[in-house]
Amino acid sequence: MAKAFANSADLKAYRQQLLKTRRTETKTISICAGTGCCASGALKLVDGFHRAVRERGLEREVTVRQTGCHGFCERGPLVVLHPELTLYQRVKGADIAEIIERTIQGGEVVERLLYQDAAGHRFVREDELPFYKNQMRLILAQNGHIDPTSIDDYLAVGGYQALAKVLGKSKPEKVCETIRKSGLRGRGGGGFPAGVKWESCRAAPCPDGVRYIICNADEGDPGAFMDRSIMEGNPHSVIEGMIIGAWAIGFPGRPQGYVYIRNEYPLAVERLGIALEQARRLGLLGKNILGSGLDFDIKINKGGGAFVCGESTALMASIEGFVGEPRAKHIHTVESGLWDKPTNLNNVETWANVPLIIDKGVKWYTGIGTGDVSRDPWGGSKGTKIFALVGKVQNTGLVEVPMGTSLRRIIYDIGGGIPGGKKFKAVQTGGPSGGCLPADKLDLPVDFDALTAAGSMMGSGGMIVMDESTCMVDVARYFTHFLADESCGKCVSCREGLRQLGRILDRICAGEGRPGDLELLESLGRTIRSASLCALGQTATNPLDSTLRYFREEYREHVEDKKCRAGVCRALISFRILADKCTGCMICAKKCPEQAISGEKKKPHVIDQSKCIRCGICRDVCKFDAVVVE
């Protein structure tokens, strides 16, 4: 690695040097090593490929690279061969020799490792897959190409060029203005215009010049993992964004940086730590960065598993070493935040957008997305948004699309629709603060304002698809309990109100719903919303309200008919074995924890309903789909 850069000319020269040495590389094997693929055995593959390349003496011609998350997690481990961009999915150790001999050396394609869609069509190139083809990958663009533990890789693809462009060259006020004009809005869910926040923080009185620049990496929304993937796959993009922010907001003062990251993301913590260390060694963090006079460094703080710490004031309390209880924001954190200093907090994805905007310009950026932000930064949603497309959908993974893309395009064109021939029921966006939207909202353009108007919200970008086997009352109950557990307890309305909502929903799901319950839920919900201090309480009833609004009939069935049409609520369902499908293999009888299943070998079995606890194990173990739920 080079020695520290004294100025931007040094950085430029180093990059030229890098590009020269890299041109000799012909073939690269990129193995996705994000959390998803690692869970499917990617690290063993990395070792295996290294060994196989070494054994065949191919080190000079072939590079094995461990990259960040490619996004198509469900098909992992993913292996992409460059420069042809051949994508192999669900690769196992046993496939390594064949890939090297047939594809790398022989130039053939291994058919069985290719992605195949529901219609049986096979795809060779990564960029031909419907999953990737219909996306616009800007923030995730480099994830599959660079080694996140190598700053050289990031520099080679143009990393830190945006920083070199502004540091010491553009006036800080000008940089704030650029961000405001770009229409960049907070990707953590709030959708507040980032440039307006930066300008307010810069303008706040601050005698000693200490302003805090925070990256909120406490990605707590269940079902959202884009921030994790950015940090695991391209940590330097976040760091570069933060340094630009430090210049724009804090220069000529003494800005200091923090990344508050979830402890549940060990790999992201590790990769970010490595990236910070590398940036320090090259003089991109520390004193007098690139000769601009800016002194700035970033510290990592790990969270302790509290959802509410994603709220800015709670997060700051936690960094100060106290419990994460939000406070009232009569005085904004941009004026008095962490240790009562002006503090600017943005989310991981927001920070990762910054270098891109600086690099490519406002005109280019505002060409992507909805609305018009030339006069009003609230006038539209610009740029792309990454969604975590999960749940009951064919192609699960990370999807980056321009703001304004319809739900239908995301779920059907990119996601491939619902698996198993089932019917779409709802899509949940925005995590526990968001809502569930039904099929007739599928053509809604996804941006900050359209989702809010429909009773949901963008949130951090979780998108959970639900089919006819998902019970909407159960979903509302799930989120209500989630939030009741995660309520910090400061406001009575949130602490006690959510618990009561949970009890009523428990009752309904247990078949003990009473007339008037739905009205009671609505009235209690109104109180919680209006009497809670922070966004957790104020939006806590969104999952409940949206399901009541769009799926009221399902609630009514639970309360009046004592029926759960999705077959989820245990008290309202029963399992039965279809005599014509049962082969009498006896596996369900053996696995039943309550010995509720009886029958002779090779003859249809029967479930004793008085003993059955409806755990569903029989259905999971049956190889003949003979167990049905009613």
Partner 1 sequence: MESKRLQEIVADHGKDPAQLLAILQDIQQEENYLPKETLKELARELGVPLARIYSLATFFSSFSLEPRGKHICTVCLGTACHVRGAPRLVDQVERDFAIKAGETTADRQLTLETVNCVGACALGPLVILDGEYHGNMNTAKLGRVLGSLKKE
The CA distance from 386 to 139, in Å, is: 8
Residue 323's H or E segment, with its range, is none
Among candidates 158, 209, 169, which has minimal Cα distance to 289? 169
Amino acid at 19: L
* Nearer of residues 392 and 558 to partner 1, judged by Cβ: 392
Residue 15's H or E segment, with its range, is helix 8-22
- Given a contact cutoff of 8 angstroms between Cβ atoms, the answer to whether 323 and 488 are in contact is yes
- Give the other-Cβ count within 10 Å of 517's Cβ: 17
The CA distance from 614 to 525, in Å, is: 31
- Give the other-Cβ count within 10 Å of 297's Cβ: 16
Question: What string of DSSP letters covers 426-475?
Answer: EEEESGGGSEEEEGGGTT-B-SHHHHHHTT---TT-EEEEEETTS-HHHH
* Nearer of residues 128 and 320 to partner 1, judged by Cβ: 320
Instruction: Work out whether 258 is an interface residue with partner 1 (CB under 8 A).
Output: no
Q: How far is the CB of 77 from partner 1 (least distance, A)?
A: 11
Scanning 122-130, 215-223, 344-352, 524-532 for contacts with partner 1 by CB under 8 A, the matching segment is 215-223
The CA distance from 269 to 259, in Å, is: 10
Instruction: Work out whether 85 is an interface residue with partner 1 (CB under 8 A).
Output: no
The answer for residues whose C-beta is within 8 angstroms of residue 15's C-beta and 6 or more apart is 155, 156, 161
Instruction: Work out whether 35 is an interface residue with partner 1 (CB under 8 A).
Output: yes
The CA distance from 612 to 597, in Å, is: 8
**Which residue in the set 396, 538, 541, 547 belongs to the binding site for partner 1 (CB under 8 A)?**
396
The CA distance from 79 to 134, in Å, is: 20
Instruction: Work out whether 225 is an interface residue with partner 1 (CB under 8 A).
Output: yes
Residue indicated by tokens 């391209």: 234
**Which residue in the set 470, 487, 493, 547 belongs to the binding site for partner 1 (CB under 8 A)?**
470
* Nearer of residues 135 and 396 to partner 1, judged by Cβ: 396
Q: Which two tokens stand for residue 325?
A: 């209880």
Q: How far is the CB of 235 from partner 1 (least distance, A)?
A: 15
Size of the site for partner 1 (CB under 8 A): 59
Q: Are strands 79-82 and 62-67 parallel, antiparallel or unpaired?
A: unpaired
Instruction: Work out whether 499 is an interface residue with partner 1 (CB under 8 A).
Output: no
Contact flags string 570-599 toward partner 1, x per CB under 8 A: ---------------------x-x------
Q: With both helix axes pointing from N to C terminus, report the angle between 226-233 and 348-360 in degrees, rounded to the nearest 10.
A: 60
Question: What string of DSSP letters covers 26-75?
Answer: -EEEEEE-SHHHHHTTHHHHHHHHHHHHHHTT-TTTEEEEEES--S-GGG
Scanning 88-96, 216-224, 356-364, 597-605 for contacts with partner 1 by CB under 8 A, the matching segment is 216-224
Instruction: Work out whether 73 is an interface residue with partner 1 (CB under 8 A).
Output: yes
Measured CA to CA in angstroms, residue 125 lies from 65, 96, 116, 130 at distances of 18, 19, 12, 11
Contact flags string 87-126 toward partner 1, x per CB under 8 A: ----------------------------------------
How many degrees, rounded to 5, is the angle at CA 575 between CA 573 and CA 578?
135
Contact flags string 517-546 toward partner 1, x per CB under 8 A: ------------------------------
* Nearer of residues 416 and 616 to partner 1, judged by Cβ: 616
**Which residue in the set 128, 277, 320, 506 belongs to the binding site for partner 1 (CB under 8 A)?**
320
Instruction: Work out whether 321 is an interface residue with partner 1 (CB under 8 A).
Output: yes
Instruction: Work out whether 32 is an interface residue with partner 1 (CB under 8 A).
Output: no
Instruction: Work out whether 424 is an interface residue with partner 1 (CB under 8 A).
Output: no
Instruction: Work out whether 612 is an interface residue with partner 1 (CB under 8 A).
Output: no
Scanning 73-81, 233-241, 288-296, 550-558 for contacts with partner 1 by CB under 8 A, the matching segment is 73-81
Residue indicated by tokens 């925070």: 214
Instruction: Work out whether 617 is an interface residue with partner 1 (CB under 8 A).
Output: yes
**Which residue in the set 222, 416, 511, 599 belongs to the binding site for partner 1 (CB under 8 A)?**
222
Q: Which two tokens stand for residue 13?
A: 């020269």
Residue indicated by tokens 């590009």: 19
* Nearer of residues 396 and 405 to partner 1, judged by Cβ: 396
How many degrees, rounded to 5, is the angle at CA 230 between CA 177 and CA 458?
65
**Which residue in the set 302, 327, 495, 507 belongs to the binding site for partner 1 (CB under 8 A)?**
302
Q: How far is the CB of 300 from partner 1 (least distance, A)?
A: 9
Q: What is the 3-state secondary structure (H, E, C) of 511-571?
A: CCCCCCHHHHHHHHHHHHHHHCCCHHHHCCCHHHHHHHHHCHHHHHHHHHHCCCCCCCCHH
Among candidates 43, 349, 66, 372, which has minimal Cα distance to 190? 349
Residues between 149 and 188 that touch partner 1 (CB under 8 A): none
Instruction: Work out whether 265 is an interface residue with partner 1 (CB under 8 A).
Output: yes
Q: How far is the CB of 88 from partner 1 (least distance, A)?
A: 17
Instruction: Work out whether 445 is an interface residue with partner 1 (CB under 8 A).
Output: no
H helices of 204-265, in order, are 226-233, 235-250
Q: Are strands 79-82 and 86-88 parallel, antiparallel or unpaired?
A: antiparallel
**Which residue in the set 10, 126, 219, 295 belongs to the binding site for partner 1 (CB under 8 A)?**
219
Q: How many CA atoms does the CB half-sphere of 301 hold within 13 Å?
A: 20
* Nearer of residues 289 and 582 to partner 1, judged by Cβ: 582
Residue indicated by tokens 């009541």: 548
* Nearer of residues 248 and 607 to partner 1, judged by Cβ: 607
Instruction: Work out whether 74 is an interface residue with partner 1 (CB under 8 A).
Output: yes
Instruction: Work out whether 373 is an interface residue with partner 1 (CB under 8 A).
Output: no
Q: How far is the CB of 580 from partner 1 (least distance, A)?
A: 23
**Which residue in the set 431, 438, 537, 567 belongs to the binding site for partner 1 (CB under 8 A)?**
431
* Nearer of residues 8 and 547 to partner 1, judged by Cβ: 547
Instruction: Work out whether 38 is an interface residue with partner 1 (CB under 8 A).
Output: yes
Residues in the site for partner 1, rule: CB under 8 A?
35-36, 38-40, 73-74, 76, 219-225, 228-229, 263-265, 301-307, 318-324, 388, 390-392, 396-397, 428, 431, 462, 464, 466, 470, 475, 478-479, 482, 486, 488, 591, 593, 615-617, 620-621
